[in-house]
Structure 1
Amino acid sequence: MSVRIRSAVVPHDLKAPISGAADGPLAGLSVVIKDMFDITGERAGGGNPDWLKAQPPATRNAVVVQKLLDAGAIITGKTVCDEFFYSLAGVNAHYGTPVNPRAPGRLPGGSSSGSASAAASSACDFAIGSDTGGSVRIPSSFCGLYGIRTTHGRVDIAGAMGMAHSFDAVGWFANAPGIFRKIGPVLLDGPSTAADIGKLMVLDDAFAEADAEVAALMKDALAAMTAELPSPSHQRIAPDGLDTWREAFRVIQSREIWSVYGDFVTRVKPHFGPGVAERFAAAATVTEEMAAQARVMQERARDRIRAIARPGTLLVLPTSPAIAPLADASNAVHESFRIRAMRMTCIAGLSGLPQVSIPIGTIDGCPIGLSFIGWAGGDEALLDLAVRLSRYCGMTA
C-alpha cells in the first residue's frame, strides 16, 4: 500500500476486505467508508482516539453499509475524518492529514477527507462520506471528484455517528461519472421528484464570494455547456447577505453537536487537535434560546431557497470559493477559508436540498469544482446531469 493511500485510512482499519453479495448493481466495485458508520465487529471512531476507546464494537451494520453490501460492493477500508466532523480542512492531529493526490502539499478538504483522498488516489471505485456543512462538497472540489450531498433525509443515516441532525446528510465520491450515478438507486430512499430541467439560476452572491480566477473558470465552463443547460438567469439568493445565513447555520450546528457530544467532552475531556477544541468550547456557550432564534432564520432561508429551487430549476455556484489551501498554512488561514466556504455551503444545508459538485478544471494545477443545487427529491436529476456534463470536465486554466 502506497503512502498516499495509507494516509487515507485509520490505524484501526479493517483487517480484511468485506465482500458483499455475489451479484447486484454494485457487484465487484470497491468502496471505502468514512469512520463514522457502524460496521459489524468494528468501532466507529469519528476521528478521535478517546471516542474510539469508549465505543463497543458494532453489533450490526449501518443501513448505508448494509445496502452497499447487499448491492454487491466490497468494503476495503475505513477512512480518516476530521474530529467529530467539525471542520472543512481534512486535518486530523491524531492520525495525520490524508494526502490530496491531485494537489500535493494542499488540504484534501474535510471532514470526509480520507474518503476523498482514497477515491482521488484510485484506491477504490467510490467512497462514502457525510455532509453537514460541506464535508463532501469541499473535498470533491479540492480533490477533483464527482461528489453529492443528498436531499436531507433521503438516505437513511441510522447506524452513523451524528453531528447536527438538522443538516446531516450522506454523500459519496467517485472518479467515474457512470459509477457515481450507480450509487443513487442503491442508497436513495423516499420520494423522488422527477422534472425536466428548464431553468438555470446563477447565484451572483455566491459567485462574489469566490476568488476572481475561480469565478472566471466557472463562467467559462457554463458558457461551454450551453447545449446541455437552459439559458441562465441571475439571482442574489440571500437578501440580507450570506453571512446572516452562515451565522444561523453555525449557531444551530453548534447547539446540536454539543447536545450529542457535550456530555462526553465534559466527562472525558478528550484530547482535541487545533481548531476543534476551540469550536467545541464555542459550542458549549450556545443556548437553546440562541438556537431557537437561529431556527427562525433557517425557516426563512429554507422557504426562500425552496421557492426559487422549484422542480426543474437548478441553482449554480462554485463549490468552493478557492482552490485547496496549503496544508502547512496557519490555523488562521484554514479558519478564514472555512468561514468563506460556509457562506456558500450553508445554502444547501439550511434548505435541505441536494447539491452535486463536478470537477470542472484546474487553477494553478489544483482542481476546482462547479456545483448545482437541485430541488427536494431531485437527487437523481443531479446525478444524471453530472453524467451528461462529464464531457466538459477537465478544462484547465
Structure 2
Amino acid sequence: MQDRWNAFMPYPDVDVGHASTGPLSGLRVAVKDLFDVAGYPTAAGNAAVLAASGIKRATAPLVQTLLDAGACFVGKTNTDELAYSLIGGNVHFGMPRNPRDPDLIPGGSSSGSAVAVAAGLADIGLGTDTSGSVRLPAAINGLVGWRPTHGSLDNRALRPLAPSFDVPGFMTRSLEPMAAVMSALGMPPANDRPISILIPEDIFETIDGAIADEMIASFGSSAMPIRRTDAIASFSLADLAVAFITILQKEAWESNKTLFERSPDAIAPDIAARLRAGSRLADEEVREARRIRALFSGEIDRLLCGNVVVAFPTLASNPPTRDAGPESFAAFRSACIKLLCLSGLSGCPQAAFPIASRAGSVSLSLFGARRTDRMLVNVAMQLSICVKEQMPSKKVNTNS
C-alpha cells in the first residue's frame, strides 16, 4: 500500500488474520499505535517507547473483536507523541498530511487513523479520545467521529494517557459504517422514545455567528422538538476547561512518570513541558478539579435524563495551517478544549459528523446520556438527511 500521507507507522507488514465473514466483512481497519497488535511493536509516537516495546505476542481485545467481526487490518497508524496533543505533529515520525486540505494540520492525537480513512486507505479508523483526539481530527478531515460512553469498550492492551478520560474511539467516512461498528461491538440499541434537541446558547456564542445560525436553522426541518438553554451547566466553559486540564495533566504525569524520569530527552519539549506541569500540581488543585467534575457530571445526568440530545459545533475555531507557530497551535487547542472537555468530564458519548453548509462542510456534534451512543448516530442520520434536503441543488448544464 502506498502511503503518501504518512498515515501509517513504517513497520514491516505482518499477516494479521481476520474472520472471513461477519458484520464488518469487507471493511479495512487502521489501528492507532497505542493498541497492541500481535507481530507489531507499540510505540505510542515515541522513539524510546518503541525501542523498549518489543514485538507484541497478543492483540488488544477490542482490536480482536473487530477482526472477529470480519474487519481486515491494514496497519498501525501515526499518533501525536504519547497521544498528548490535538495538533497531529510528531517530532519522531512526522506529521501526517491532511487529505482534505494538505495545508492544514490533520488534528490529533489520532492523526494517522483519521488521515488513513480520509485518504481512502481504510474504512474504519480506530483511535483513542482523551481530550478530543478522535472528534477533532474527524472534524478537520471531514469524517464521522465517535467518542463512546466512558468505560463501555474494552481498553486492555491500550497504552494509557489519562485513564479517567481515555476511551477508544472510531472514525468513518459516513454514518452507516459507524452504525455497523457500534452494532458489531455490542452497543445497546437505541430506544424509540421521542427525542428533543437542546441548543446551549453559551456554546454557540463561541463560533462564527453565520455558521451558528445555519446550524441551528438545520435543526428546524427535523421532526424533533428544539429547546434552548442559556448555558449547558452552572459552570462556565472556561472553568470546566481548567478543571479538565488539571485532571488531564495530573494523570498524564502519572502515566508517563517512569518514561520521563528514565528518558527526559526522548520526549519533545512541548510534551515534556506539559508533563512537568502535571508533576507540579498541588493536591488541592486536583481535588478541586475533581469536585467540579463530579458536580458537572451530576448536572449533565439530570439534563439528559429525558431523552435529550445536546447539539453543538465540534470545533470552536478553524484549524491552523501545519506550518503555523506554537502560539497558533496553543490558541487553537485552548479554544477547542472548552467544547471537547464536556464529554470527558461527564463520561457521556459524543458523535461528530460533517454537515453541508453554504460555507462548506462543517462538523456538528451530538452529545447524549450514557449508553445512548447508537441513538446519537440515528439522530445524526436524520439531521443529515434534513440538511441535504434544505441545501439548494446544483443546476445541471443542459447546453453541453
TM-score by length of 1: 0.92
Shift of 1:54: 1.2
Separation (CA, whole Å) in 2 of partners of 1:274 and 1:206: 32
What amino acid is aligned across from residue 8 of structure 1 in structure 2? A
Residue 268 in structure 1 maps to residue 263 in structure 2: yes
Separation (CA, whole Å) in 2 of partners of 1:381 and 1:214: 25
Give the 3-state SS of the residue equivalent to 1:232 in structure 2. strand
User: What residue is the counterpart of 1:44 in the other structure?
Assistant: 42
User: What residue is the counterpart of 2:209 in the other structure?
Assistant: 212
User: What residue is the counterpart of 1:161 in the other structure?
Assistant: 159
Separation (CA, whole Å) in 2 of partners of 1:311 and 1:274: 46
Larger CA deviation: 373-382 vs 209-218? 209-218
User: What residue is the counterpart of 2:374 in the other structure?
Assistant: 380
- The answer as to whether partners of 1:358 and 1:393 remain within 8 angstroms in 2 is no
- The answer as to whether partners of 1:32 and 1:115 remain within 8 angstroms in 2 is yes
What amino acid is aligned across from residue 322 of structure 1 in structure 2? S
- The 1:2–1:305 alpha-carbon spacing in structure 2 relative to 1, beyond 3 Å, is same
Give the 3-state SS of the residue equivalent to 2:341 in structure 1. helix
- The answer as to whether partners of 2:44 and 2:81 remain within 8 angstroms in 1 is yes
Larger CA deviation: 91-100 vs 267-276? 267-276
Separation (CA, whole Å) in 1 of partners of 2:268 and 2:218: 38
- The answer as to whether partners of 1:203 and 1:317 remain within 8 angstroms in 2 is yes
Among 230, 238, 248, the residue aligned to 1:253: 248
User: What residue is the counterpart of 2:308 in the other structure?
Assistant: 313
Separation (CA, whole Å) in 1 of partners of 2:316 and 2:210: 10
User: What residue is the counterpart of 1:151 in the other structure?
Assistant: 149
Larger CA deviation: 307-316 vs 208-217? 208-217
Separation (CA, whole Å) in 2 of partners of 1:322 and 1:188: 35
Separation (CA, whole Å) in 1 of partners of 2:210 and 2:279: 38
Shift of 1:334: 0.6
Larger CA deviation: 227-236 vs 109-118? 227-236
What amino acid is aligned across from residue 62 of structure 1 in structure 2? A
- 1:251-271 superposed Cα distances (whole Å, 9 cap, x missing partner): 111111111111211112142
- The 1:393–1:264 alpha-carbon spacing in structure 2 relative to 1, beyond 3 Å, is farther
Residue 199 in structure 1 maps to residue 196 in structure 2: yes
- 1:179-201 superposed Cα distances (whole Å, 9 cap, x missing partner): 11100022245x66735242211
- The 1:392–1:147 alpha-carbon spacing in structure 2 relative to 1, beyond 3 Å, is farther
Give the 3-state SS of the residue equivalent to 1:141 in structure 2. helix
Give the 3-state SS of the residue equivalent to 1:275 in structure 2. helix
1:223-372 correspondence to structure 2 within 5 Å: 223=220, 226-361=221-356, 367-372=361-366
What amino acid is aligned across from residue 163 of structure 1 in structure 2? L
Separation (CA, whole Å) in 1 of partners of 2:357 and 2:52: 42
Where structure 1 has 5 or more consecutive residues not aligned to the other structure, the ranges are: none
User: What residue is the counterpart of 2:123 in the other structure?
Assistant: 125
User: Alpha carbon RMSD of aligned pairs, Å?
Assistant: 2.0
Shift of 1:280: 1.4
What amino acid is aligned across from residue 43 of structure 2 in structure 1? G
Give the 3-state SS of the residue equivalent to 2:310 in structure 1. strand
Separation (CA, whole Å) in 2 of partners of 1:352 and 1:62: 22
- 1:208-240 superposed Cα distances (whole Å, 9 cap, x missing partner): 2223344244224334xx224322323401323
User: What residue is the counterpart of 1:9 in the other structure?
Assistant: 8
What amino acid is aligned across from residue 341 of structure 2 in structure 1? C
- The 1:160–1:232 alpha-carbon spacing in structure 2 relative to 1, beyond 3 Å, is same
Separation (CA, whole Å) in 2 of partners of 1:211 and 1:17: 48
Larger radius of gyration: 2
Larger CA deviation: 275-284 vs 247-256? 275-284
Larger CA deviation: 52-61 vs 113-122? 52-61
Separation (CA, whole Å) in 1 of partners of 2:267 and 2:98: 23
Separation (CA, whole Å) in 2 of partners of 1:52 and 1:362: 43
Where structure 2 has 5 or more consecutive residues not aligned to the other structure, the ranges are: 393-400
- 1:160-192 superposed Cα distances (whole Å, 9 cap, x missing partner): 011111111111011132111100022245x66
Separation (CA, whole Å) in 1 of partners of 2:229 and 2:17: 48
Separation (CA, whole Å) in 1 of partners of 2:15 and 2:104: 29
Shift of 1:4: 3.6
What amino acid is aligned across from residue 227 of structure 2 in structure 1? P
Give the share of equivalent positions with the same residue, in percent. 33
User: What residue is the counterpart of 1:222 in the other structure?
Assistant: 219
Separation (CA, whole Å) in 2 of partners of 1:222 and 1:192: 23
Give the 3-state SS of the residue equivalent to 1:209 in structure 2. coil
- 1:284-319 superposed Cα distances (whole Å, 9 cap, x missing partner): 212433222211111011111111012511011100
What amino acid is aligned across from residue 377 of structure 2 in structure 1? L
Separation (CA, whole Å) in 1 of partners of 2:243 and 2:339: 13
- 1:49-76 superposed Cα distances (whole Å, 9 cap, x missing partner): 1111111322211111110111011000
Shift of 1:91: 1.2
Separation (CA, whole Å) in 2 of partners of 1:195 and 1:323: 36
Shift of 1:390: 3.4
Separation (CA, whole Å) in 2 of partners of 1:220 and 1:104: 31
Residue 391 in structure 1 maps to residue 389 in structure 2: no
